[in-house]
Amino acid sequence: MLARAARGTGALLLRGLNVLIPVLDRIRYVQSLKEIVINVPEQSAVTLDNVTLQIDGVLYLRIMDPYKASYGVEDPEYAVTQLAQTTMRSELGKLSLDKVFRERESLNANIVDAINQAADCWGIRCLRYEIKDIHVPPRVKESMQMQVEAERRKRATVLESEGTRESAINVAEGKKQAQILASEAEKAEQINQAAGEASAVLAKAKAKAEAIRILAAALTQHNGDAAASLTVAEQYVSAFSKLAKDSNTILLPSNPGDVTSMVAQAMGVYGALTKAPVPGAQNSVSSGNSRDVQGTDASLDEELDRVKLS
């Protein structure tokens, strides 16, 4: 759609039938109501941290009032382009270099608002503004690359340290669990060992008691003394064969080869210990007759001393 401004009367000619007076009226301006794309030339701008940038952009606008666009400004496109450049420099001066790259959308929106406020009297509306390229100086670019590499190395170091810490924690936790399990296993082993030793002692005691009972029953039978004499003789021969094996100190009887006398002495001690008490002796002891008891004790002591000396 085209809008024409007639010189002379200053009237706006729209589409359709329009009448012009010859010599007095003629078409002076032709404005397009379509959206117009304007390339903003590259320019230098200084950021808040004093870094010089080379930046360009693209401006999208539309003529909303052809009369104002024709008579409000001499060259509307040039005016809007210059306004976009100055506004862009002004907005870049408020931001640091890092924020320029992070806040491009907010920067574009601020430029559009500033252009619309100034171009309202021109009958022009800015639809959007887009930054095309941002060129930084070579040294600044190298510094940015070094900063990025340093940040990546930092993250890698942090991740590696965290991995080392997690590994150390896992190893320590594993050692802790291993020690706990080992202590529990040792405790269970000691409990089982104690229970086994107690059972063994009890079994030995029962076996010894049973053996004593059987031995006592056997000695009361016929020829029990002969069997006891044979057992004592066998033990004497076995003990005699083990002399000087465990130590260098040897105690020998006066006649080590006389087994008969040794067995006789042992049987004498056994007979004295197992001698049956005389009926009524308990009553006599309880009544105060202690001479017989002392005599018996003396005879037993003599037999034991004789066995020791032999």
pLDDT tens-digit series, residues 42-78: 888 888 888 888 888 899 988 888 888 888 888 888 8
Are 25 and 43 part of one and the same domain? no
The DSSP call for residue 249 is: -
Are 103 and 61 part of one and the same domain? yes
The DSSP call for residue 137 is: -
Domain that holds residue 5: 1-33
Asked, for residue 244, whether it belongs to a domain, the answer is: no
Which one, of 302, 226, 222, 305, lies nearest residue 263 by Cα?
Answer: 226
Query: DSSP labels for 42-102?
Result: EEEEE-TTS-EEEEEEEEEEEES-HHHHHHS-S-HHHHHHHHHHHHHHHHHTTS-HHHHHH
Cα–Cα distance between 39 and 37 in angstroms, integer? 7
The residue whose two tokens read 């397009």 is 32
**Identity at 77, one-letter amino acid code:** E
Angle between helices 104-118 and 76-92 (to 10 degrees): 140
**Dihedral (CA of 66, 72, 75, 78) sign:** negative
pLDDT of 148 reads: 83
Asked, for residue 273, whether it belongs to a domain, the answer is: no
pLDDT of 298 reads: 52
Torsion (CA) 11, 17, 19, 20 in degrees, nearest 10: 70
Cα–Cα distance between 72 and 80 in angstroms, integer? 13
Are 52 and 121 part of one and the same domain? yes
Asked, for residue 268, whether it belongs to a domain, the answer is: no
Asked, for residue 172, whether it belongs to a domain, the answer is: yes
Among the candidates 173, 206, 223, a domain finishes at 223
List the chain pLDDT tens, one digit each, 310 residues: 445 444 444 455 555 666 667 767 677 777 778 888 988 888 888 888 888 888 888 999 888 888 888 888 888 888 888 888 888 888 888 888 888 888 888 888 888 998 888 888 888 888 888 888 888 888 888 887 888 888 888 999 999 999 999 999 999 999 999 999 999 999 999 999 999 899 999 998 988 888 878 877 776 776 666 666 667 666 766 766 666 566 656 666 666 666 667 667 666 666 665 664 544 444 443 444 444 434 444 554 555 455 444 4
The DSSP call for residue 8 is: T
84 and 58 Cβ atoms separated by less than 8 Å: no
The rounded radius of gyration (Å) of the Cα atoms in the chain is: 63
Cα–Cα distance between 165 and 157 in angstroms, integer? 12
266 and 307 Cβ atoms separated by less than 8 Å: yes
Torsion (CA) 166, 172, 175, 181 in degrees, nearest 10: -90
pLDDT of 221 reads: 72
Are 186 and 211 part of one and the same domain? yes
pLDDT of 122 reads: 86
pLDDT of 111 reads: 87
CATH of the domain at 69: 3.30.479.30
The residue whose two tokens read 């430029």 is 111
**Identity at 239, one-letter amino acid code:** A
pLDDT of 282 reads: 43
pLDDT of 168 reads: 92
